[in-house]
Amino acid sequence: MFSDHVISPDEHERWVSKALTDPRGRCLIFEFMRRPVGLVSFTGIDLEHSRCSWGYYLGETDLPKGTGSAMGFFALDYVFGPLKIRKLCGESFRFNESAIKFHQRFKFHEEGLLRAHVLKDGAYEDVVVFALFAEDWMKHREKIAKLCFR
């Protein structure tokens, strides 16, 4: 997350309320063995230009290796399937190597670097901007599925 302050229960409640009522957004809860363990959010859904942004979070630490990849796979199937989005945008801190590798593994392309863009822990940090197009997802989907679900 870009924010680094402790999020109060009231702030959480406001965020959830907004997320559930925003017509330009979708929130999906990811369950593992009937237990909610993660969240994927799609924001800024622009049907005219057929694009949106995403964020994803695992909220549990006792999950099997690959759980995040499975969540990402199902999220991408949803955004390029039922939502019919053409371009999905994502961002990551440049220091977050695991998030960058995640985007690369799922065939996102790096579209740019926002230098000293976000104040995090007292320092301005760079943000990498990614995008994945529906046709690239469909082209690589089966190969990615084999990596996620072997």
pLDDT of 18 > 70? The answer is yes
Residue 27, SS3 per DSSP: strand
Token pair, residue 50, equals: 């057929």
Q: Which CATH class is domain 9-148?
A: alpha beta
Nearest to 53 by CA among 147, 148, 129: 129
41 near 55, Cβ under 8 Å?
yes
Nearest to 89 by CA among 46, 132, 57, 118: 132
24 near 41, Cβ under 8 Å?
no
Please tell me the distance from the alpha carbon of residue 14 to that of residue 50, in angstroms, as a whole number.
27
pTM for the full model?
Answer: 0.91
Please tell me the distance from the alpha carbon of residue 106 to that of residue 90, in angstroms, as a whole number.
12
* Sign of CA pseudo-dihedral 55, 121, 129, 143: negative
What pLDDT shows up at residue 20? Answer: 83
36 near 62, Cβ under 8 Å?
no
What pLDDT shows up at residue 113? Answer: 98
Residue 103 class from Cβ within 10 Å (0-12 exposed, 13-18 middle, 19+ buried)? buried
Residue 32's CB is within 10 A of a number of other CB atoms, namely: 16
**Which tens digit of pLDDT belongs to each residue from 72-122?**
999 999 999 999 999 999 999 999 999 999 999 999 999 999 999 999 989
Residue spans of the domains in the chain: they are 9-148
Residue 26, SS3 per DSSP: strand
